[in-house]
Structure 1
Amino acid sequence: MYEGRILEFGNSSQLIVPVRFLCPLHENYKHILLPITYSVVFILGLLSNGTVLWLSCCQTRTWSCSTIYLTNLAVADLLYVLSLPLLIVNYIWKDKWSFGDILCKQVRFCFYANLYGSIMFLTCTSIHRYVGVCFPMKSLRWRTRKLAIMGSIAAWFIVIMEALPTCIYAHAEALHNKTVCFDLTSPENFFSYLPYGVMLTVTGFLIPFTIITLCYCSILKTLATPGDNPLVRKPRRTKSICTILVVCALLVICFVPFHVTRLLYLFIRAYMVQNCGTLQSVSVLYKICRALLSFNSCINPILYFLSGRKSCSWLLRKNKVAPAFIRSQCPAWGNAAPGCPLASNRIPG
């Protein structure tokens, strides 16, 4: 596939560099790598996320806040997984897209909706765990299912607004005697896509990544603090640390490499497009990291099985102030509040 760019002169005139005069990208490797990777992700992601939704909808009587966030995370993953068969066929046919412009836009939208939906709900879960572990008493009043539902709606709204321009930029178009479905956008629209791509990286990844990092650093600090808080004792500490390790693995293996290589690809394609060796190398790294990113749909369900629901019993043992309020929040006393589902010995969920 060939790369194109738009060069601007003055305030109004533009010169479109012919695609055929620019660097050819040799991408035969992706016609093997991506179909195999996406096939594995499709099978594992469909089974794991389907199991999460089945357990949440059919086997869970009372949803905790974590269950709400992680179920939404599974929905985002499932939407992405269901779009993979079209991409598998597309890459097997060597980038020949035969499914029309609407499905092209839908597939690209689902990719970014899953990507930033995953990051958004991981951020929601991180904040929820942070306030539950670091501020257990103060957070009792507002760690409720109602606020979790409102937070999930807000998260979906933000994700849709972030990914919606993809439906404008991504499209199917004839190129080199075949119809292709552009991953980012067509060459002549790339300069208008560049600010949007940078904005997606900052708002969709960098800001949530910073929030997640700060939350889990604070949680680890709290868990490492000696004292009689049962959250720092085994097995609660072990479960919490395992959850943090899974999220760190997601960030390090899936999200960070993809966004770093994608940002490099965006700038090199814009400002070093005729440096063929560099463009080819970064393009290969970007495609490999894109394949790794798809595994987040298989790793995310692990968080569901690691999630625990919060315990109020230790608060009753440690706090003798306002016992009526604490009892009203704890199902162990027969009057469960929305934010405190059944759990006698687990860390805040």
Structure 2
Amino acid sequence: MGANSTNATCVVDNLQCLSYSPLFVLGFLVNAAAARAFASKRLSWTETHIYMLNLVVADTALVLFLPFRIYDALYCLPTTTLCTLLIFIHFINMYASIMTTMAISVHRYLTVRFPLQARSWRRKKETAVVVCLLIWVFLVTVCAAFRTENYPEQLWTCYVRRKDHPLRLEFLLILLLVGFLVPLMIIVFCATQIIYILSKEEDRLEEKKKTVGVVMANMIVFIVCYTPIHVGFLINFLYHAPEHWQTRHIPAHMYFQVSEWVASTNCFFDSISYYFLLKQFYS
């Protein structure tokens, strides 16, 4: 099933074009502003800035490839190896954002839980760099190991997998467990602990309230953005579609398309983190 099947199944999708176009514009502007802000901080970097820069890189890369998705919605790209590359780029950067957010949450928790020790820790910047590199190496390795999952013959259209060929169970488990559930549990644990610790302290109440607000907002955004798409992965795995189905007529497919867009909006909502980074929280 290659380009010929694409001609039979791909149709112009104005809704996707309308939904991804403003996301591209807003995401590009926000991440460009963040990149400019980081350039001005080059002489006073901390480990927090390193983690946040990694988040900017992941979000920017995701945003920069959205025009391919917009073009596909309007003109239908043929299902070639370019589509395989685009799918992996999209999801590598999405999971890089997830794992970097997890790393930031752990860093915040350790800083709040052990404030005196945190100031004396050595090689904090080097550790942050290593963590970020390990995230990228892990994600690229997973994609290389499961590269056949999104080969052209596995696709109905450039961005849509054949639902009669579900993901391999081991790949799905990596996405759900390592890519989402473990980061989710760590982020929720760190956020609730930070809120609990700060709520017990009575000094600098106004600053503590702002910090609690940031932590709470980041946790809620993470849950709202990334939960639907992972539920969608599970639905697609459990739902056995017929061999010759039309994508637009399947509710499960429509749900997954919406949830994928919701997950992509995180590249814009991460701007909350950029803003409070420049306010020098957790530095």
* TM bracket (short chain): 0.7 to 0.9
Q: Tell me, what secondary structure is at the counterpart of 1:89?
A: helix
State the match for 1:137 in structure 2: 116
1:156 paired with 2:136, answer yes
Match in the other structure for 2:194: 219
In 1, the alpha carbon distance for the partners of 2:163 and 2:184 equals 30
Q: Give the one of 179, 193, 204 matched to 2:168.
A: 193
- Report if the CA contact (8 A) 1:170-1:182 is conserved: no
1:69 is paired with a residue whose SS is helix
Deviation track 1:105-130 (CA, whole Å, cap 9, x = no partner) reads: 22101111121111101001000000
**Matched letter for residue 294 of structure 1:** S
For the pair 1:307 / 2:277, whether they are aligned, the reply is yes
CA distance in 2, matches of 1:207, 1:252: 12
Q: Kindly state the Cα deviation for residue 347 of structure 1 after the two structures are TM-superposed.
A: 4.7
Equivalent position of 1:66 in the other structure: 48
CA contact (8 A) 1:173 1:181 kept: no
Deviates more, 1:146-155 or 1:162-171: 162-171
CA contact (8 A) 1:39 1:88 kept: yes
Task: Give 2:98's aligned amino acid.
Answer: I
In 2, distance between residues paired with 1:166 and 1:63?
Answer: 36
| CA distance, structure 1, for counterparts of residue 278 and residue 201 of structure 2 | 22
Q: Tell me the TM-score normalized by structure 2.
A: 0.85
- What are the ranges of 5 or more consecutive residues in structure 1 without an aligned counterpart? 1-18, 20-25, 310-345
Output the aligned Cα RMSD. 3.2
More helix by share: 2
Q: Structure 1 residues 237 and 27, CA, compared in 2 at 3 Å: closer, same or farther?
A: farther
The alignment's TM-score, normalised by the length of structure 1, stands at 0.70
Aligned to 1:335: none
Task: Mark the CA change 1:274 to 1:91 in structure 2 (over 3 Å): closer, same or farther.
Answer: closer
User: Would you say 1:41 and 2:23 are equivalent positions?
Assistant: yes
5 Å-filtered alignment, 1:296-335, equals: 296-307=266-277
Q: Which position in structure 1 is the counterpart of 2:216?
A: 245
Deviations 1:263-302 (CA, angstroms, capped at 9, x unpaired)? 12221137x99999xx922222111111111111111122
Residues 308 and 348, structure 1, Cα contact 8 Å, conserved in 2: no
Residue correspondences, number? 276
Show the counterpart of 2:282.
Answer: 348
Alignment equivalent of 1:88, drawn from 70, 74, 95: 70
Query: Which structure would you say has the larger RCO, counting Cα contacts within 8 Å and 6 or more residues apart?
Result: 2
Corresponding residue SS for 1:62: coil
Cα deviations across residues 212-234 of structure 1 (Å, max 9, x unaligned)? 11011100100111444x4xx21
Give the match for residue 39 of structure 2: 57
